[in-house]
Amino acid sequence: MYTMVEQAAAGKATGDILVLAHGAGAPADAPFMNTLAGFIAAEGVTTVRFEFPYMQKRREDGKKRPPDRQAVLLDGFSEIIDHLVADAGENARLFIGGKSMGGRMATLLAASPDCSEAVRAVVCFGYPFHPPGKPEKVRTGHFDQLRCLLFIAQGSRDPFGRRDEFAGGLPGGDKVTIHWLEGGNHDLKPLAKQKLETDALIHQAAVEAVRFMAQVSADG
């Protein structure tokens, strides 16, 4: 399994570990993932990134492939979790999540009775609530089975789930917290008229995610 680890910034380490899975079309070291992991590490959380089998094959031969079947994706994610638990022990403050598809896989694991008890919560960035233009095909049916809390950092104009689509309430009830990033798209890029730095919303997402993880850890 291809992995990369960024240690938390010196003097600020919180002891929390976040496993970040990539989205469907970009690898673990895509610009978004590099930027996000860097911001999170700077806030004191160690991040671990890995690649699903289909992306590993793409790295080897350069050929683009569709994502593996869901069962294969979940097995790969579970393998990383098991490795980290074995290395850090059952008392590791472990969080799982990722970008888009990777985050969705993390929520599916957290809704499974087979999920490791070491997982404290899930942290997603740009959750794919539904395919673009198909809001009726929701991907939240498992939220009611979540065995831990879920935090989602979502751009307010993300075509996979915009803020105005949730006026009637959020799926998952009290277990789910969504932090809306004003003007952000699926990659958390702001509108030009907002006159923000390109990575400003990614930084905001990282800060809010670390704040969430800190609260979960503090609550035990």
Q: pLDDT tens digits, residue range 102-152?
A: 999 999 999 999 888 899 999 999 999 999 999 999 999 999 999 999 999
Question: Residue 173's domain is classified under what CATH number?
Answer: 3.40.50.1820
Tokens of 13: 């380490």
d(CA 106, CA 77): 8
Is 87 a residue whose pLDDT tops 90? no
Q: What's the CA gap between 108 and 96, in Å, rounded?
A: 11
CA distance 201 to 115: 31
**Structural domain count of the chain:** 1
Structural domain including 148 reads 3-218
Distance CA 11, CA 28 (A): 26
Mean pLDDT check: name the lowest of 61-65, 154-158, 171-175.
171-175
Higher pLDDT, 168 or 103: 103
Alpha helices in the chain (DSSP H): 31-42, 53-61, 70-88, 101-110, 200-218
Question: Is residue 12 over pLDDT 80?
Answer: no
The per-residue pLDDT of the chain, averaged, comes to: 92
Residue 94 backbone phi and psi in degrees, to 5:
-105, 130
